[in-house]
């Protein structure tokens, strides 16, 4: 039986999700399945439910992960924990269910690149993916600094109170992204869109602050090397883009879509192809 899947988002023409999922379908002999992009402007997102007549499931990217969490009634435990949905499937009864695979992808990426989630962590941004990183940092007993724009401070504080366990909040600092304390950070993670193709000549923090970091992780994968990561490399800082995280969260999403486990050999082969694109 043919099944159709898609990525919902805005400004997603550079997305590699269709390539990954269609490669998985080929490798797992699910050749009747297909995956494509579904570009929805902010004034169109409310219509997303109408697409379930055509599609069996979706991935969700910026800026709609929190919107999906707030508008889907049936939510998986992890998505509830992070208050962010990046995977949706249509159930047999015609209803749909939301999941979060960003956390899985993020942790698998850190493991792959031998980066430990510990000590001082600087998180830039608190959108859908940023929330999963904040929760994981708290879970691993990190001293977390979350940096966001001043105008979003009140909203971000409320979000942190909702997603971080009370006993862990004492280890979380919320700061203006223009006034980040200069100190040693084990990891700095860019979970903002600053550095993407339409904003490629900017970086979210100053080079002077980046010098204080041992590892730099950018969730952006297009371009593969943002100005943020280029600068980190100049300072001999370990620099990792979001490509492996993308692959691993997509792999987990695909397993939810099809119910089939994807073996490590398939994942390795697709990653080799992704790095050449």
Q: Count of residues for the chain? A: 277
| Token duo for residue 43 | 């004034």
Ramachandran class of 236: left when φ > 0, alpha when ψ lies in -120 to 50, beta otherwise? left
Question: What's the rounded Cα separation, in Å, for the pair 96 and 94?
Answer: 7
Active site residue 261: no
The CA–CA distances, whole Å, from 126 to 135, 147, 155, 214 equal 11, 8, 10, 21
Question: What's the rounded Cα separation, in Å, for the pair 156 and 153?
Answer: 5
Of 99, 168, 106, nearest in space to 133 by CA: 106
| Token duo for residue 154 | 């009140």
DSSP character for 213?
E
Displacement of CA 26 from its chain's centroid (Å): 25
| Residue in 65, 90, 97, 108 annotated catalytic | 65
Q: How many helices (H) and strands (E) does the chain have?
A: 10, 12
228 contacts: CB under 8 Å, gap ≥ 6 = 190, 194, 195, 203, 204, 205, 210, 216, 218
DSSP character for 2?
-
Q: Checking DSSP bridges between strand 143-148 and strand 172-176, what pairing results, if any?
A: parallel
Does the CA dihedral 189-191-195-196 come out positive or negative? positive
Active-site annotation, residues: 65
């Amino acid at each position: 039986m043919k099944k159709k899947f898609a990525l919902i988002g805005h400004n997603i023409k550079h997305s590699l999700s269709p390539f990954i999922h269609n490669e998985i379908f080929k490798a797992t002999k699910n050749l009747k399945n297909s995956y494509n992009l579904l570009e929805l402007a902010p004034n169109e997102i409310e219509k997303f439910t109408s697409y379930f007549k055509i599609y069996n499931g979706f991935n969700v990217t910026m800026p709609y992960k929190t919107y999906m969490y707030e508008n889907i009634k049936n939510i998986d435990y992890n998505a509830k924990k992070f208050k962010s949905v990046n995977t949706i499937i249509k159930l047999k009864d015609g209803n749909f269910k939301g999941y979060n695979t960003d956390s899985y992808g993020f942790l698998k990426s850190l493991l792959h690149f031998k980066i430990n989630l510990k000590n001082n962590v600087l998180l830039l941004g608190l959108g859908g993916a940023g929330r999963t990183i904040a929760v994981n940092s708290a879970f691993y007993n990190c001293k977390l600094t979350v940096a966001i724009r001043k105008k979003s401070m009140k909203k971000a504080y409320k979000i942190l109170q909702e997603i971080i366990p009370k006993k862990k909040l004492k280890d979380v600092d919320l700061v203006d992204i223009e006034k980040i304390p200069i100190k040693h950070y084990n990891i700095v993670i860019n979970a903002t869109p600053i550095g993407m193709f339409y904003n490629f000549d900017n970086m979210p923090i100053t080079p002077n602050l980046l010098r204080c970091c041992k590892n730099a992780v950018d969730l952006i994968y297009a371009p593969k090397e943002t100005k943020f990561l280029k600068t980190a490399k100049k300072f001999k800082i370990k620099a990792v883009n979001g490509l492996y995280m993308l692959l691993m969260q997509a792999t987990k999403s695909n397993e939810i879509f099809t119910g089939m486990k994807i073996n490590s050999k398939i994942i390795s082969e697709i990653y080799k192809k992704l790095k050449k694109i």
